[in-house]
Structure formats: C-alpha cells, structure tokens
A = this chain, B = another copy of it.
Amino acid sequence: MTDLLTPPAQLEQPLSAEELSSLDGYWRAANYLSIGQIYLLANPLLREPLTLEHVKPRLLGHWGTTPGLNFVYAHLNRLIRERDLSVLYVTGPGHGGPGLVANTYLEGTYSEVYPHVGQDEEGLRRLFRQFSFPGGIPSHVAPETPGSIHEGGELGYAMVHAHGAAFDNPDLLVCCVIGDGEAETGPLAASWHSNKFLNAARDGAVLPVLHLNGYKIANPTVLARIGERELRALLEGYGYAPRFVEGSEPEVMHQLMAATLDEIADDIAGIQSRARAGETTRPAWPMIVLRTPKGWTGPKVVDGLPAEGSFRSHQVPLSNLAHDPEHLAQLEEWMRSYRPEELFDAAGGLMPELAAQAPRGNRRMGANPHANGGALTRELELPDFRAHAVDVLSPAETSSEATRVLGGFLRDVMRANPETFRLFGPDETASNRLGAIFEATDRAWEAEILPTDDHLAPGGRVMEVLSEHLCQGWLEGYLLTGRHGLFSCYEAFIHIIDSMFNQHAKWLKVTRDIPWRRPIPSLNYLLTSHVWRQDHNGFSHQDPGFIDHVVNKKAEIVRVYLPPDANCLLSVADHCLRSRDYVNVIVAGKQPALDYLTIDEAIAHCTRGLGIWEWASNDDGLEPDVVLACAGDIPTLETVAAAALLRQHLPELRVRVINVVDLMRLQPESEHPHGLSDSQFDALFTTDRPVIFAYHGYPWLIHRLTYRRHNHPNLHVRGYKEEGTTTTPFDILMLNDLDRFHLVIDVIDRVPTLGTRCAGLRQAMVDERLRHRAYTRECGDDPADIREWTWPA
C-alpha cells in the first residue's frame, strides 16, 4: 500500500460503540455470506467442521473487490436510515456479485423476490449453492440481482449509468463505485466529466467512490500507482472534491467512512439547496477515494505468498481444496474469523440488532424502485405526429429533409414531457437537422457559458458531448430507471458503442424472464448522416454495418426500420417511442429526399412493414416479370427511378416495386416475431421471378434474412460493398452498383425474356454510367453543374 494518508489527528468518531459494533457486524455478515457463496454447498453456518463435502467442486467468483463493496453498502445503509435518503447503488466492479447478493439478502429484499431463498439456514444453503452454479445465478451483478441497473460484466460504464439514473431524479442519490481497474477504460475515463452535464437543481446527485483496490487480475492499477499528489490533481481536474478514506483497520475505517459520508451528505444537501435556490455556479461535487486492501479481511498469506492486498486475491484466494487440506483448514479459519455464531441465530436468521442496520421498505437499496425502472415508467405524452406530416399530392414530386421533419415532432414530444424525455447525441443535433428541438429546450451545460453560445443552458435537455460512449451510457441509465429517450448519431460511428449495445440487449433479453422486472422504454437509435451521403466526408465515414451487428442479438429484442421518406419516419418514430424492452434502430437521411407517401399511406405502409408500391409498379395485380425491392431512402430513390426507366423503355415489362420499412419482416416467422409467413412472402416476392433488391447496407444481410425463402435463388441484392471515397453522392452509388442504371442492367441480365432483345437498352445504361462517371471526374468547374453533383435529372 502506497501513499497512505495518515488519518487526521483528530479523527471524528461519529459512531457510538454500539453503532460501531452493529455496523461492523453487518459488514462481517455480508463478507461471510459472500465467501459462503463462492465456496460452500452446505453447512452454511459452519455448525459442523468444514469438510470437502461442503465445498463446491469448482470455485468461481471474485472475492477481491467484494469486502470493499460490502463496506460501502453497510455505510450507505446507515446514511439512508439516518437521513431517509433514496439511494441507488451502482457498482462498476460488478464481478463482486456475491457482495450485492449478500447485502440484498441481509436486508430481506432477496427473499421477497426469490421466496425459495428464505431467511433461514435452508435459505442460506440455497443462497450459497446457487451462486455461479449450473442452474443458479451469475457470478456478477446481473439483471437477476435486486437493486441493480448495471451488469457487472464488461467494465467502464458505471459512471455513465449512474448519471443517466440521476438525471431528472432530484431526490435520488446514486452512489457509484468505480473500480480502479475499470478506471483505465476509455468510457470510464471520459465519464468523469459527466458532472458538466448534471444539474444540481433538477437532477439527483452522483457520489463517486473510487475504490483503489490496487490490482486487476494480474497487475496493479494505474491509479493506485501514481501517488496521491497526482491522483488528487486528476480528480480535482475532473471537477470533484475528493476525500480519501484509506486504511485497513476496520474500526478506524468505520469511523472514518461514517464521518466522511456525514460530511459528504451535508455537502450534497448544501449544493442542492443552493442550486435549488437559484445559484448557478458549478459545484465541486464530493467524492471518495476508498483505498483498502484487495481481498480485505481475507487470508493474509497463501502458500507463502501475500494474498490480502495483492492481485492474488482477485478471484478465489484459496483454491485446489480437494488436494490441499491446508487450504481447506485455512478456509474454515477464515470463515470463522467473521464469527458467524454472533451474526445469525439458531434458525439461521440475522440477529435483530444487525437486521436493524438495514433501512426499511423501498429505502433498502435492493428495493429502490428506480432500479426496477419499468415500475416507475410514465407513458410518454405523444402529440399527434400527423400534425408534422408533409403534404404529398403525388408520389416522388416534392422533397423533404426527413430528420428536419422529425425534429418538429421531437420538439413537441420534448414540450409535452418536460421531465421524462431527453435527446442524446454527439454534438450533431443541429448538424443532423433536428434543430427544431431547440425551440423547446437547450443543450445541457454546467460548465462556463459565454454570451455568444447557442442554446446552452444548465436546464437543457439535449445531451451533447463528443463521446458516443457517454451518450449511450447516459441514455441506458435514463431508460433503466424508467424514462424515455432517443440517441441520434452518425451511422458510421455508432459502431463505437457496439459493445455497449451488446450488453444492453443481453440485459433486456434476461429481464424478460425475470417476473419482478417491469418492461422499460426501448432504446431508440436514429442513425443519420448515413453511408450514402458521406460523399464529402469520404470512406472513413461510410459504414452501414450496425444493422448487421444488431440482428445477431435475440430476435425478441431487436427491431430495424428503414423509413423511405419523411412521413414514414414520423410514423416509425412514434411507434418506437411507444414501445418497451426493444432496441429500435431507425436509419434515415437528413438530406432533401423525395416524398412518396401521404401520412395516411405512410402509417398503413409502416404498420404492414413492407408492401407493394402500386404507383411505382405496372404489374397491375398480375404476376410480375420482375420484382424491384428496396429498403432505405436512397435505394428507394434509385429503385423508383429504375422502375421509371423500365416503364419508359420496356413498357410491356411487368415490374412490381416493393418497399421494405421493417427489415425483420423479411425473416421467417419462426426466426423473428415480425417475420412474414412463407405464403405472405411468396405472394409478394413470387416463387420464381427475379428479385432485384436495392438495400441500404451490406448486401449479404438480405441473403442472411431470406435464405430460407422459396425464391431466394432468384434474389439479387445490391448494397454497400465498401467502395467509396470523396466524390459525388451519385458516384458512390455507381461505385457500389446500386444506381438506377445498374438496377436496369440487373433486370435485363436476370429476366430471361429480355436478354438479347434489350442489348441496345443495356448498352445505353452502360453508356449512361460511363457518362456520369466521366462527368463526375470533370464536373464542378461550372457552378451551374451543381445539380448534376447529386442526382441525375
């Protein structure tokens, strides 16, 4: 242990001897139960000498972080009781699952939601046995853990989840334990600055506890080895007022922690009351640096090597019990050091003076309703999106910027839900043409504001920071505590949060099987500035693969929508904002694009999810010669244009145009709840006619969704095949063979009856492509040519 502060000479002693004894007893009980979960199958109270029969054959779990988590939990219990606080406990070192399970068991929450694990010796046995055991519970903090909103698997998201939970919850205190391992991750490192977006008047408080355990799996941690001077500077630089609680002697540490928490609670109350009285200075929020030995109170030495206070305590400090009787004896000695006979009564219940340490009812952290956010969710007040519809007198005549139209709707959603809806995005709300929302609110900003700033205010509800990780994590925390939101992002850069999406989707999947978890509002993505209009930013900004990533997750969870025009976007957005427990991905452009459907047609079309566009087809209800299918705004434009070219040049060819909004409709109904039946699919796409499918993203995704369909052998997909540079939008289409001329060529090549007799038309299309390619290379010298920069007439 380095840099250990000498405890202040006149240490406050806020705990009486009885309080100290009970608090320490509670902590010992939690530690004892944590070890029991890791090690024991039976004999939970050590009523008989420990033998191998009592011990699990495979030892799993993480002891190292657990006593520290238990320590904080026990002290928060006291704080809650004394001040009647509502506290949510977010633990970044979520591998310390046994600690959270132990504490929610001790306070009674666990047995309430899992009655088969009762508050007696048999309940203890079951509690121990189930932990990280086949058919049991995960070793990490997980959806199954009462009081949790934060999976303890992938590291780095504790602070963003904590802040998301605190937004718009002025009476909530979120205590956020940050592991010093996790603190090395990018998302965590960035998320310290979340305090520049947390408003003391309107939001709750976040109390970070940086747990300097000192070690990861096999290494020390950076923050534990930079010395206290640098560490303090770093935390002050992040805008916090750190207090150091350091040591290993339990009595001293209890008094120090209790005194520190008392001071901090006063500080937070002061900050909030001043802010709520109108003070606008950004506060230096208090935080704690808790430096305790890794595996605190565990075996000091194992096999002659240091265990407590070293990386060797990370997981299971004593292992190989079957072949090492010394380890078994050491385990028993270790467990008995907590004096279980003082903690539990004859029946296995917690001693009353210890049980009294826990808060009551919903004040228990395991029962805090914010951790089961769906139970608190208020329905969004959704104004009528039809009021924002663009007028469409006939298809493909007028143009709209779809996201700009959506912006008007979102403005009204924001106005109607001033406490339960937020918009998230990395500095792109205006760039993505959602700027109307600033008529209803501002960007949240707690740092300095200058008179020249634009729509920046402490009370703002648009969360802009140049970090997709922070946007995603804040929104997750906001949703998990039962509120609503939308994340708008450049399509290519949403991959930055691929892994966070994974974890959220897995969380949602698991919660569906947990009866006491209530459904939460869906995670809604608006992906715009998409691949087909990254002509100016170029290749690095072109990636439509987030859809591919999303559809690998459970079908019950994921939804993907590609509205072809502004009215469809409105309809889809309204639908997504009403939904629960999904991840909805909406891809829509921000550039002027053709309007196709009136709002009523759009609603009908989006409700079906896909359908024949008769106005663009000429199959007249007969079997078509070819099907032109499309998904995505730009592919739809090219498909409609190709259909027009075909109508002009080959009027006798029966062309059916199908537009797909809801991509999951393409899958078999056995694979996705939205899937079309085979007969429905066949009725639309035929069983034997060529289908030319113009798709927004990587073309093989359409094959992956349809390979079981009867007509799959006749399906030809065009999409983005990783070709692009700085050029014109139409040239990018040509580079990927998705342009209207190539679609016509595809039809000629695939409809058997056309072949040779259309050689002339085919050549004309080839020539058109060459003309445009040459034009692209030469264009632009005459400003009047700008129309040709974008799309053919």
How many copies are assembled?
2
Complex: A700 Cα to B138 Cα, angstroms: 28
A186 cross-chain contacts in B, Cβ below 8 A = 156, 185-191, 467, 469-470
A611 on the B face (CB < 8 A): no
Task: Give A764-793 as 1s and 0s: 1 = Cβ < 8 Å from B's Cβ atoms.
Answer: 000000000000110111110110010000
Identify which of B154, B233, B452, B539 contacts A234 (C-beta below 8 A). Answer: B233
Interface size class of A (residues with CB under 8 A): 35 or more
From the candidates B237, B466, B492, B498, name the one contacting A230 in the complex (CB within 8 A).
Answer: B237
A541-595: which have CB < 8 Å to B?
Answer: 541, 543, 545, 548-549, 552-554
B residues near A347, Cβ cutoff 8 Å? none
Choose one: B57, B221, B233; the contact of A237 (CB below 8 Å): B233
Is A647 engaged at the interface, CB distance under 8 Å to the other chain? no
A153 touches B222 (CB 8 A): no
Query: In the bound complex, do residue B549 and residue A60 qualify as a contact, i.e. CB atoms below 8 Å apart?
Result: no
Task: Return chain B residues, CB-CB under 8 Å to A785.
Answer: 57
Report Cα–Cα, A232/B779, bound state, in Å.
50
Beta-carbon nearest neighbor of A428 in chain B: B217
- CB-based contact B226/A196 at 8 Å: yes
A553 touching B779, Cβ below 8 Å: no
Question: What is the CB-to-nearest-CB distance from A785 to chain B, in angstroms, rounded to a whole number?
Answer: 7
Within 8 A of B (CB), among A680-718: 698, 700-701, 703-704, 707, 712
Interface string of A76-91 (1 = CB under 8 A from B): 0000000000000000
Q: Provide the bound-state CA to CA distance between A536 and B38, in Å.
A: 12
Contact B219 A427 (CB under 8 A): yes
**When A184-B465, A427-B217, A783-B322 are in contact, do A540 and B450 touch as well, CB less than 8 Å?**
no
A456 contacts chain B at the CB level, 8 A cutoff: yes
**What is the distance, in angstroms, from A476's C-beta to the closest C-beta of chain B?**
14
Given A219-B464, A727-B135, A776-B134, residue A140 in contact with residue B185 (CB < 8 A): no
Say whether A452 contacts B777, CB under 8 Å: no
Q: Which residues of the other chain, B, contact A231 by a CB distance below 8 angstroms? A: 237
Is the C-beta of A331 less than 8 angstroms from some C-beta in chain B?
no
A276 within 8 A of B: no
A431 on the B face (CB < 8 A): yes
Tell whether A132 is near chain B: CB-to-CB under 8 Å: yes
> What is the bound-complex CA distance between A4 and B152, given in angstroms?
43
* Stretch from A24-32, A67-75, A170-178, A501-509 at the B interface: A501-509
Q: How far is the CA of A80 from the CA of B691 in the complex (A)?
A: 62
7 additional contacts (CB under 8 A) given A140-B537, A230-B237: A60-B536, A139-B726, A185-B190, A222-B447, A233-B234, A509-B539, A703-B707
A sample of 15 inter-chain contacts (CB < 8 A) reads: A140-B538, A184-B193, A185-B186, A188-B190, A189-B192, A217-B430, A219-B454, A220-B448, A222-B465, A233-B236, A234-B238, A502-B543, A509-B539, A549-B549, A707-B707
- Residues of A at the B interface (CB closer than 8 Å) are 2, 41, 52-53, 55-58, 60, 132-140, 142, 151-156, 181-182, 184-193, 196, 216-222, 225-227, 230-239, 306, 310-311, 322, 427-431, 443, 445, 447-450, 452-454, 456, 464-470, 492-493, 495-496, 498-499, 502-503, 506, 509-510, 536-541, 543, 545, 548-549, 552-554, 698, 700-701, 703-704, 707, 712, 722, 725-728, 731, 776-777, 779-783, 785-786, 789
